[in-house]
Amino acid sequence: MKICIIGGGIVGLAVARRLHATHPGAEIVLLEKEAGVGRHQSTHNSGVLHAGVYYRPGSLKARMAVSGIRQMVAFCQHHRIPHEICGKLVVATDETEVARLRALQERGTQNGLAGLQWLEREAMIEIEPNVAGVAGLRVPEEGIVDYAAVCAALAQENQDLGTSLLFGTRVERVTPDGNALVVSSRAREVRAGFVVNCAGLHCDRVAEAAGEARTTRIVPFRGEYYRLKPSAEGLVRNLIYPVPDPVFPFLGVHFTRLITGGVEAGPNAVLAFAREGYRKTDIHLRDVADAIFFPGLWRFMNRHRSMAWAEVRRSLSRGLFCQSLQKLVPAIRASDLEPGGAGVRAQAMDEAGTLLQDFAFIERERALHVLNAPSPAATAALAIAEEIARRVPGGSRPG
């Protein structure tokens, strides 16, 4: 059987690799519209290995983060990819956040995380001396990694296993033809017995091109970062996170030490005018129209107008951004920040205007569409791949 993967981000690459183990003898073809792998979310992210403390017990995110981080660390060790399990500190800045932090600790424990540590202020500042707050939760299993290097290693493994990686191939249509699907782009046509859609920011469009109704839609939320100037890097040792707002699947602006050196602050979550818009000024008309004509977005905006507006103001003002950071590290000054990069999250929203909290798939006889794979899907990519390969017909369970 020929299996066609659409999208050469970390998820598509991991799926293609896994299929060689579960479907020996199958011909695996991966189509990617860019000239190389991992050009979007997979390399425009925080570079954090999430262990699964945030996610509802029993959810796909919880299960796959817990299993995924272990697999990802083993993969990095095997390929000598730079990574470090430095641990994370989640900080409650006032008494109201303490109860939510306790709930987070409970979740982490239910999800099977090891070594979670509740810290009162004195113990907390031994770990991060410049942090504010009344209590903290240390998550020792989390860390940092170079996801660009992970994508490169996955691509190399795929090549060695015989995956055909076809670049410059933007999939436009997926049509049934007898007992197969024909995946078409301007560059070529591929006839496959099964198709896996891992198109990230465009997964809903690829699903629609294959005949699915677009009841859930990707709504792009740009995450912008600042970098700490070298003179301020000493304010942060490792990873400092706020207690997240449970309404949104975003973690709040935080401090991240990068495995490649330096410290980042961010990302925020601003509605973007382009799905691949990494600058504030990027506008893509089709993406704007897509958002405007989606009733879910209007319902979301009605409910969360003040949050959305606050995000825009914070995006435009370094001072406001800095104020959010000062809740975690009061000594930080706006003058310590210089513009960093940005990423855009492929976050699915339903017609009611609700952001999908969990990973989501559509399964058909000859296709599987990954409809929602935002954070922690980079950490969890190898576990997601295992799950998807299990759902592709004709497989065996490798030992």
Q: Which residues here bind ligand FAD, judged by CB under 6 A?
A: 6-12, 31-34, 38-42, 44-48, 50, 169-171, 198-202, 206, 223, 267, 343-345, 373-379
Instruction: Decide whether 45 or 111 has the Cβ nearer to ligand FAD.
Output: 45
CA angle 331, 334, 340 (to 5 degrees): 115
User: Least CB distance from residue 267 to ligand FAD, whole Å?
Assistant: 4
Instruction: Decide whether 132 or 269 has the Cβ nearer to ligand FAD.
Output: 269
Strand partners, 369: 197, 362
Which residue from 310, 130, 157 is spatially nearest to 236, judged by alpha carbons?
Answer: 130
User: Least CB distance from residue 94 to ligand FAD, whole Å?
Assistant: 26
Instruction: Decide whether 296 or 376 has the Cβ nearer to ligand FAD.
Output: 376
DSSP string, 316-337: H-HHHHHHHHHTT-TT--GGGE
Q: In what order do the strands lie in the sheet with 180-184?
A: 173-177, 180-184, 189-192
Give the C-alpha separation, 27 to 29, whole Å: 7
φ, ψ of residue 222 to 5 degrees: the values are: -80, 140
Q: Which two tokens stand for residue 277?
A: 């818009």
Cα–chain center distance at 112:
21
DSSP string, 77-105: HHHT--EE---EEEEE-SHHHHHHHHHHH
User: Least CB distance from residue 123 to ligand FAD, whole Å?
Assistant: 26
Instruction: Decide whether 135 or 328 has the Cβ nearer to ligand FAD.
Output: 328
On whether the CB atoms of residues 43 and 9 are closer than 8 A, the answer is: no
User: Least CB distance from residue 224 to ligand FAD, whole Å?
Assistant: 8
Instruction: Decide whether 32 or 128 has the Cβ nearer to ligand FAD.
Output: 32
Instruction: Decide whether 97 or 146 has the Cβ nearer to ligand FAD.
Output: 146
- CB-nearest residue to ligand FAD: 9
User: Least CB distance from residue 96 to ligand FAD, whole Å?
Assistant: 26
Which residue from 396, 399, 382 is spatially nearest to 64, judged by alpha carbons?
Answer: 382
User: Least CB distance from residue 231 to ligand FAD, whole Å?
Assistant: 25
Cα–chain center distance at 47:
10
Instruction: Decide whether 235 or 344 has the Cβ nearer to ligand FAD.
Output: 344
User: Least CB distance from residue 260 to ligand FAD, whole Å?
Assistant: 13
